[in-house]
Amino acid sequence: MIEEISIRDLGVIERATLPLGPGFTALTGETGAGKTMVVTALGLLLGQRADSAVVRAGSPQLWVEGRWRVPAGGDVAERVRDAGGDLDDVGDASAGELVLSRSVAAEGRSRAIVGGRGAPVSVLTELAEQLVVVHGQSDQIRLKSASAQRDALDRFAGQRLSEALDAYRAAYRRWNANREELAELVDERDRRAREADDLRAALSEIEAIAPEPGEDETLGEQAERLTNLESLRLGASAARESLSAEDSEGPDVRGLLETARRELERAGAHDSALQELADSLSELGFQVDDAAAQLSTYLAALDSDGAHDLEVIQERRAELSGLVRKYGPTLDEVIERAATGGERLAELEGDEERIEQLTTLVEDDAREVERLAASVSALRKAAADVLATEVTEELAALAMADAAVVVDVQQRDDYSLSGRDAVSILLRPHGGADPRPLGKGASGGELSRVMLAIEVVLAGSDPVPTFVFDEIDAGVGGASAIEIGRRLARLAESAQVIVVTHLAQVAAFATNHLTVVKAGDGSVTASSVQKLDGDDRVSEMARLLSGLPDSESGLAHARELIEVARERAEASAPQR
């Protein structure tokens, strides 16, 4: 619901604030005072194209701001937060205040602010679909597309159609998913067969060689050792001889240590410190003996047939390298491919069986989709007849007694997520005419009345927070204008309704009456929009009726009209 709109330097309006709120707001004023600029301001807040021509002459830019009260956890609040903005706190955990603003510079630049943060104008357009429905003389925004007309019919049809449509959509999604999988399997059958052959050959080769994790690194170390076998033997032998010369007469580490120990022991009799050093040399001797023994064991382990072992190892390494080149780039990945390849091969080898299974499923699903689509179509056609009848009855009371609305439901050749129906809301302007799409068979004022009739009928099943009608009463007067006012009041029982009007018969039904006041020099002052109550409202109604705000007969007629409107609104309330 719109709580307030502020305008600055838009067209003839220099500065104005419109207090709106719930119920039925009528906006009146003299011709040229700027009533339709209010609709223009709202359009800018809802993302419509900005035209610098509407910037007030002499001003650098226009600025409009709207304040909406919206549910704190609804789709609107979520989209605002996605755009970086937020709702203002109003002391109610279930609701918040959304502030939208738009500026347009005289040179054409436009800027939008959503919930306190700058945002693309497209965000305003997205929010507009959930905030306001505008019916103007030249542009009926609501129900302008075939999908919007179908959705409106579906909501009017109620719970039975909703449940039937849910069942259809579940079947359609399943059918579509199975069709896509079947088409992919059939289209890629040859490619998948080649993949299966390649995978089968790869698994056979890998399994024949049977690589082990880390085997290539282990074999590399062994090959390095065997390649340098003689060098290893010579080095280890020389080291052992240096430590303990068992096969030669030359000095070795063990002998030198033993000689040094004995010398220190002889001298240690005169100094205990030397005895401690002698004990250390004795310990070193034990360590040298251990090292020499380990070298002997190492030399014994060097196989004299190492050349043969090296040949076997090199052959194994060549086999592993071949696997890595084909299926690598590492041996671990080759082993992983062998581990997972079986599942993939089973999947590929099961294609024919899966194709047969899917073919059966698709055929079964197609029959189910056809059956459920027919059920949806039947419910839509029944609801279409009721909707058309109710809207046509509304038109009769809106000075369009010869007009009729036709809700046409035709079956398409193809299916979609919404069924196979093409829904069109058509207008037959008089008995001898053919039904034509909305907007092509009526004038702007007539089209506004058609949309009002549709909105009144849809209000119970397709609620919208705010409706705006711009001169819906064009070309209407007398009793028909009163009926328009009564239906607007009826619509305002379930939604906020804002109407730009020049008829007292319509304004009389308003619960909030605003007027745009034009200054004597033709411009609009800072106090251009006034809220009318009591005698001020009666005077404005008299002006609308006779052009004379102070005429006694006009004032009396205005009071009578306000009372008639009140009585008719009260009388229609129990019939909802």
pLDDT score of 299: 74
- Contact between residue 532 and residue 515 where contact means Cβ atoms under 8 Å apart: yes
Using an 8 Å Cβ cutoff, are 404 and 428 in contact? yes
List, for residues 102-150, the tens digit of each pLDDT value: 999 998 899 999 999 999 999 998 888 788 887 765 555 567 678 888 9
β-pairing, 466-470 vs 132-135, is parallel
Write out the two tokens for 457: 């009928």
Distance between CA atoms of residues 101 and 118, nearest Å: 9
Alpha-carbon gap, residue 327 to 315, rounded angstroms: 19
Helices and strands in the chain, H and E counts: 18, 16
Per-residue pLDDT tens for 541-560? 999 888 888 888 889 998 99
Q: DSSP code of 573?
A: G
The residue behind tokens 């109710």 is 390
Contact 28, 515 (CB under 8 A): yes
408's CB contacts (< 8 A; 6+ apart) are 384, 423, 424, 425, 426, 435
Q: Tokens for 140? A: 């009926």
pLDDT attached to residue 33: 64
pLDDT of residue 302: 67
User: Residue 145 in 3-state DSSP?
Assistant: coil
Q: CA torsion angle for 512, 490, 445, 532 (degrees, to 10)?
A: -10
d(CA 318, CA 107): 77
Question: Per mean pLDDT, which of 123-127, 226-230, 323-327 is the most reliable?
Answer: 123-127
Burial of 131 (0-12, 13-18, 19+ CB in 10 A): buried
pLDDT of 282 reads 84
pLDDT of 422 over the 90 cut: yes
11 Cβ neighbours under 8 A, 6+ residues apart: 34, 37, 40, 54, 56
Of residues 491, 510, 502, 509, the one with CA closest to residue 451: 491
Whose tokens are 């014994």? That residue is 300
User: Residue 167 has what pLDDT?
Assistant: 96
- Give residue 576's pLDDT: 41
**DSSP element (H, E) containing 164:** helix 159-187
Q: Is the pLDDT of residue 444 over 80?
A: no
The rounded Cα 211 to chain-centroid distance in angstroms is 49
**What pLDDT is stored for residue 548 in this prediction?**
82
What is residue 421's predicted lDDT score, i.e. its pLDDT?
94
- Mean pLDDT of the 21-39 span: 82
Question: What average pLDDT does the chain have?
Answer: 84
> Taking each helix axis from N to C terminus, what angle separates 189-209 and 306-327, rounded to the nearest 10 degrees?
170
**Over residues 238-262, mean pLDDT:** 77
Give the pLDDT of residue 378: 96
CA angle, 454 then 78 then 130, to 5°: 10
DSSP 329: S
What value does the mean pLDDT take over residues 183-193? 76
Model confidence at 82, pLDDT cuts 50, 70, 90, reads: very high
Of 2-16, 133-147, 310-324, 342-356, give the lowest mean pLDDT range: 133-147
Q: Are 202 and 326 in contact (CB under 8 A)?
A: yes
Tokens read off for 135 = 């019916």
Beta carbons within 10 angstroms of residue 326's beta carbon: 13
Residue 415 scores a pLDDT above 90? yes
Residue 443: Cβ within 10 Å count: 12
Residue 276 has pLDDT above 70, yes or no: yes
Amino acid at 335: I
Q: 212 φ, ψ to 5°?
A: -110, 150
Give the DSSP H or E segment for 25.
Answer: strand 24-29
Question: Is it the case that residue 201 has pLDDT exceeding 70?
Answer: yes
Tell me what the mean pLDDT of segment 377-386 comes to: 96
Give the pLDDT of residue 170: 96
CA distance 70 to 76: 7
Q: pLDDT category, 248, cuts 50, 70, 90? A: low
Which residues does residue 112 pair with via DSSP β-bridges, in sequence order? 102, 119
Q: Give the pLDDT score at 273.
A: 81
Of 143, 37, 106, 199, give the one whose Cα is nearest residue 426. 143
What whole-number percentage of the chain has pLDDT above 70? 90
Give the model's confidence band at 459: pLDDT under 50 very low, under 70 low, under 90 confident, else very high. Answer: confident
Amino acid symbol at 368 = E
The pLDDT, as a whole number, for residue 526 is 45
Q: With bands split at pLDDT 50, 70 and 90, how would you rate the model's confidence at 266?
A: confident
Q: How does residue 230 score in pLDDT terms, banded at 50, 70 and 90?
A: low
Across the range 494-523, mean pLDDT stands at 84
The stretch 26-43 carries a mean pLDDT of: 81
pLDDT digits (tens, 9 = 90+) for 512-536: 999 988 765 555 444 478 899 999 9
Residue 303: what pLDDT?
57
Least confident of 143-152, 231-240, 290-299: 231-240
Question: What is the percent of the chain with per-residue pLDDT over 90, rounded to a whole number?
Answer: 30
Asked if residue 350 has pLDDT above 80, the reply is no
Between 43-47, 98-102, 472-476, the lowest mean confidence (pLDDT) is in: 472-476
pTM of the model: 0.63
For tokens 């900005």, name the residue: 50
Contact 127/114 with Cβ under 8 angstroms? Answer: yes
User: Would you give the end-to-end CA distance of the chain in angstroms?
Assistant: 22
- Cβ neighbours of residue 241 under 8 Å, at least 6 residues apart? 247, 248, 250, 252
Residue 432 has pLDDT above 60, yes or no: yes
